[in-house]
């Protein structure tokens, strides 16, 4: 019997491409590409020993105090109070009408366009690209919460405050450069930021009674 060396047939690999395609698609689907969204804030540095004793004095007219209690009632300065209600989905929400009122009051406070003696003092400042601008340089919005305040309400308040700033910036952008804030160049944006700097302070926590 003559033994003939048989040639080994090549492994059929035409389906490997399909298999790896499947793996690729699996990875594309399962991995997260979504970016996180949110409101960014910068916390103040931790207080030093000596800072704790001396309190920073802010003129009364320069400060807008927003207080929230454990029943989620919001007090805006001494202007008005807002009571959020549960909507159909069971989330606590600030009424849109109240939100509008709140936003208008905040905008009025930040800009002080009428130069009212009750609102923050206007200081003339030389801003690049814009020249001499009256700026409420020393204004502060202070947000105070109780330990029992719901985070949802706190977040909505923060969102409204940022919205007020954004409205004013858009308005100034349109007036001076013809475009909304987000469509301006970097220099223009920083000029507008100088006129309306975002100053939302997180008050040092105070303990009223026992923590929950």
| DSSP category for residue 54 | S
Q: Which is nearer to another protein, 104 or 124 (CB)?
A: 104
16 is a site residue for another protein (CB under 8 A): yes
Which range, of 116-124, 140-148, 172-180, 184-192, touches another protein by CB under 8 A?
140-148
Single residue of 5, 8, 30, 78 touching another protein by CB under 8 A: 30
d(CA 147, CA 206): 9
Q: Is 29 in the site for another protein (CB under 8 A)?
A: no
> According to CB under 8 A, which residues from 157 to 186 bind another protein?
158-159, 162-163, 166
Q: Which of 106, 136, 145, 188 binds another protein (CB under 8 A)?
A: 145
Positive or negative, the CA dihedral 163, 75, 66, 89 is: negative
For the record, the structure tokens of 72 come out as 């989620």
Measured CA to CA, the distance from residue 126 to residue 195 in angstroms comes to 10
Which range, of 51-59, 113-121, 155-163, 170-178, touches another protein by CB under 8 A? 155-163
Residue 190 in the binding site for another protein (CB under 8 A): no
Q: State both tokens at 196.
A: 């309306």
Smallest distance, another protein to C-beta of residue 102, A: 14
How far apart, in whole angstroms, are the C-alpha atoms of residue 178 and residue 90? 42
193, 186 in Cβ contact below 8 A? no
Residues 102 and 82: beta-carbon distance below 8 Å: yes
CA 62, CA 74: separation in Å to the nearest integer?
Answer: 20
Binding site for another protein (CB under 8 A): 13-14, 16-17, 19-21, 23-24, 27-28, 30-33, 35-46, 68, 91-92, 145-152, 154-156, 158-159, 162-163, 166, 202, 205, 211-212
């Amino acid at each position: 019997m003559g033994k003939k060396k048989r040639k080994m047939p090549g492994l059929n690999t035409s389906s490997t491409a399909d298999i790896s395609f499947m793996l690729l698609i699996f990875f594309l689907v399962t991995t997260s590409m979504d970016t996180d969204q949110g409101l960014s804030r910068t916390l103040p540095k931790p207080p030093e020993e000596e800072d704790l004793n001396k309190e920073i004095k802010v003129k009364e007219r320069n400060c807008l105090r927003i207080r929230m209690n454990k029943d989620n009632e919001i007090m805006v300065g001494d202007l008005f109070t807002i009571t959020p209600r549960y909507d159909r989905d069971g989330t606590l929400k600030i009424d849109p009408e109240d939100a509008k009122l709140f936003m208008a009051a905040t905008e009025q406070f930040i800009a002080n366009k009428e130069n009212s003696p009750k609102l923050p003092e206007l200081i003339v400042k030389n801003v690049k690209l814009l020249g001499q601008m009256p700026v409420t340089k020393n204004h502060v919005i202070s947000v105070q919460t109780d330990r029992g305040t719901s985070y949802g309400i706190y977040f909505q308040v923060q969102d409204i405050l940022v919205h007020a700033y954004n409205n004013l910036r858009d308005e100034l952008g349109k007036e001076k450069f013809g475009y909304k804030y987000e469509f301006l160049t970097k220099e223009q944006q920083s000029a507008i930021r100088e006129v309306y700097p975002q100053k939302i302070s997180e008050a040092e926590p105070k303990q009223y009674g026992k923590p929950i």
